[in-house]
A and B are shown apart, each in its own frame.
Chain A
Amino acid sequence: GENVEQHPSTLSVQEGDSAVIKCTYSDSASNYFPWYKQELGKRPQLIIDIRSNVGEKKDQRIAVTLNKTAKHFSLHITETQPEDSAVYFCAAGHTYNQGGKLIFGQGTELSVKP
């Protein structure tokens, strides 16, 4: 069935370092890859997304890369700050007429130490 694998499950970095989270997906029909950040006790918040017609997208300290051939995509956070500490979820999905279907990864708990 459709599956998204996310690694690592936990990641601890020093403030100012970079953090990289990787995901692989199984459904070749997937064409949309969002990343969500979920702080403790809060809702998942969309932080960046990429569609299959581009290979990279950047928004300030956050970037996402996509390799369709290998079916994997990654989140890169540079110059990490303590407020980046949260659980990050990747997802792979596709749009159909009625809506969108997302399959989520298991999540990565990022801890940024001051």
Chain B
Amino acid sequence: ETGVTQTPRHLVMGMTNKKSLKCEQHLGHNAMYWYKQSAKKPLELMFVYSLEERVENNSVPSRFSPECPNSSHLFLHLHTLQPEDSALYLCASSRQGSDTQYFGPGTRLTVL
């Protein structure tokens, strides 16, 4: 499937590193989402962007910084992460005002 893509698929980083996750959607959607999926936990909504504006920020630590330069691209900038931030980070998209979300394949992040 190529509707929602994410890069990289795997990332290992140290606690002092700075890295970015990228999401791109080819579905003509204009709302995009970041989720965190940890083992034994439900998917946790982190950020919602609609028409490139952040409309939801679910008490996420400032070491996670999202960016949405246009309706097709979404980034998650990472800096000074903790080992407990290791998880699968999933991006999703939908049409504005629609509730049906489509997920990307995720980035498996490991923080050493």
Contacts and interface: CB of A to CB of B under 8 A. Distances in A.
Contacts of A34: 99-101
Residue of A44, A95, A96, A104 with highest tally of chain B CB at under 10 A: A44
A91 B45 CA distance: 12
Contact of B43 (A44, A49, A94): A44
A106 B53 CA distance: 29
Contact of B102 (A46, A91, A96, A98): A46
Provide the main secondary structure of the chain A interface: strand
Task: Report the interface size class on chain B.
Answer: 20 to 34
A102 interface: yes
Contacts of A101: 45, 48, 56
Interface string A20-58: 000000000000101010000011111001000000000
Given A42-B105, A43-B90, A43-B105, A100 B100 contact: yes
Given A44-B90, A89-B42, A102 B99 contact: yes
Nearest to B55: A98
B31 to A, nearest CB: 3
B45 A100 contact: no
5 contacts: A34-B100, A95-B99, A100-B98, A102-B43, A102-B99
Interface of A: 4, 6, 32, 34, 36, 42-46, 49, 89, 91, 93-107
Given A46-B102, A99-B31, A100-B101, 13 more contacts: A6-B42, A34-B99, A34-B101, A42-B105, A95-B98, A95-B99, A98-B51, A99-B50, A99-B55, A100-B99, A102-B43, A106-B42, A107-B42
